[in-house]
Structure 1
Amino acid sequence: MEDRPARDLPESLAARRGALRLLAHVLRDGRMLGDGASGLTGAPAARALRLAGLVLRHMGRADALLKARMQRQPAARIRDILRLAVVEIFVDGAAPHGVVNDAVALARATPRTVKQAGLVNAVLRGLGGAEAEWTALPPPALPAWLRKPLAKAWGRDRLEAIEAAHLTPAPLDLSVKPGGLAPDGVTLPTGTLRLDGGQVSALPGYAEGTWWVQDAAAAVPVRLLGDVAGQRVLDLCAAPGGKTMQLAAAGAEVTALDVSEARLKRVAENLTRTGLSATVVTADAMNWTPPAPFDAILLDAPCTATGTIRRHPDLPHLREARDVEALTRMQFHLLDRALTMLAPGGRLVFCTCSLLPVEGEHQITAALKRHPDLRATALDPAAYGLPPETQSPHGLRLLPDLWPDRGGLDGFYMALLTKAA
């Protein structure tokens, strides 16, 4: 079955096989979940991606449940088959009979695992009545390299709340043009429109280009710049372009710069769909010189993206402690470089979608020491629709456990800096 085309398999089995391929892609090959390695298209591909994401999100809980029922660790593929089955039964609410049958079929599909099909059958059929045991399992712990600094920064209770928040997939957030056609949803205090989900291209207003997908937290940094109408604004590290479109919709003369030509192509496509305009530049910010200084700059710096784990559950399995040092060094240099492109009296917003203070608060503290002509603006969270606890040294700090009753937010840090006139 492993070599049979997906079209020759029942859709459920094809999707489950695709999910296993995606899990191997992440856990063994160290690749991003969304790299399209399921070998499927259309609805089965979407289902495979969703199932793989669920497994990665609940993997620690699945492993804990399975460990008590096995004397030794099985082969990696068998372990993934069991994880997938457990998550489908206890999280997705799939019918156990169909899940077990497909899991056994997947074990029998390759010569190296066929002898363990009996183990798969026995373990999964022994899970009957384990609902209470599953419910009592704590959320999976973040990896030690991330957990330790987060506990130090935010406290153990807040850390556990963040880990619990990661169990829930992110909702669909939209930034809408003023007065534009939009789907039915709930408007958050920050101004973002939030939906439970749906096929993006089929939602009202998509074809008309009246909105774009953008997490509520990611939409706040542009607002820190205030009125940008008629001003020259640089969106540095611009892809995928949500902030570029925010700036253009606000009337700014935007330059969107990114080192990735492929990612900027997506920015250009979104600008075309929304009828917004910006100058798109493919270049390395460290080597690019603008024709004139900018009135304002938005630097959404490359980071560990640990604030986006609830929408990218593969990240804890791909990032390592050594990534932090390289990224913080890059942020340091990008911030200094951006300041050389800023006009006297100009404003710069620095932000990262990271949970780590070394990629946020610490960067701004260090920058203020390096640049005596720079000052940080004290920000009132209420002015941006945020609760008081989001106030942080020199800026605003958002964490995923914020607004659990509204669906949460991505983790973000943002600060507004002004260069002396």
Structure 2
Amino acid sequence: MDFKSILSFTVTERFLRYVTIDTQSDPSSHTCPSTEKQKNLGRLLVAELLEMGIEDAHLDDFGYVYATIAGNSKKENVPVICFCSHMDTSPDCSGESVKPIIHKNYTGEDIVLPDDTTQVLRMKDHPDLKNQIINDVITASGTTLLGADNKAGLAEIMDACHHLMKHPEIKHGTIKILFTPDEEIGRGVDKVDINKIAAFACYTIDGESAGNMENETFSADGARLTINGISAHPGFAKGKMQSAIKIAGQIIAALPLELSPEGTSGMQGFIHPVNMEGHVEKATVDFIIRDFEDDVLKSHAAVIDKIAKEILKEYPDSTFSLDIQPQYRNMKSVLAQHPQIVDYGLEAIHRTGMEAKLCSIRGGTDGSRLSFMGLPTPNIFAGEHAFHGKQEWVSVQDMQKAVETILHLSMIWEENA
């Protein structure tokens, strides 16, 4: 189907509306959602879905939005599919009072953000800008992130829902919608009701460059290193004190650069200290450990253990422990069992006129865990770039292509039923 004659995009207006709502998640919170303000966006999304005529749209107590678009196909065996994006933004950068700016008809020049002119988007730092010539690029004003991660995905799914409800000539099976809280802090599906979704396949709309689809994520563990030192009065500490903080610092400093985020790329994994707390007697260091191969995760953890043992030889009265906790696993092994899920996604991208590219993510998505909960979930581009920072951006045209991709994907599942 040629959508050119029927599409009247609302994705930009929706996106500009959503990013002004602060939905930053909080890793130190133990509630779900981690911040109540995420529900403010959830309530708006539900109201807009209900206005479209999607009658079962609702927000649950945990901050999840669920909705169902009934199938309109004459075929009875069309598999149920789901589209998913997350509502929260990263704790790494403020999402309060976001001021989105549309830079129309981009011609390749540096983009200076007006509220902090030290924030400049240059093509050499953002190479995908070369694909945005004559497009309309959206940024924040320089003091906050933009929130394209993942409000671009939200707006794209919402616009696709709008078109599906408005145009019954687009044939599709039953489609489920899932919007999650707390994805940025690794808890995006902690309280999801998988039975309420009851789909055969799902697609997160949370990727970067237009045309990209990802069927592989990092596998992830968390590690907590605990150092038990020896405390003594600092005025009388010679030969007695063994500072847990200093020991922890030595261990961090001894981590090899080639196993750090700043020293790796592509398919290389890393060990990354993300938090340190303590005092002379006791200190803890939290790490995230990432790799595409599960077995290699174990060898990364062994590096921490080996370094700690070597350092502690200098402190015979001090001890350490290392606790490893699994976080999520590479979804590729699950998706390999259902190749049509990825194949249909690539075909949908191709039908929009783009070159479809299958990639790996140096990170994770809600799909990583959903796949191992019985809902195979690859990731499709949303057009978001430079996420988690003040130079985050997205283009209007890439968001529109994502809407088209969702619509084609809905049709492809119906065609092949």
Normalising to structure 1: TM-score of the pair? 0.21
Normalising to structure 2: TM-score of the pair? 0.21
Higher helix share: 1
Higher strand share: 2
Which fold has the larger relative contact order, with Cα–Cα distance below 8 Å and residues 6 or more apart in sequence?
2
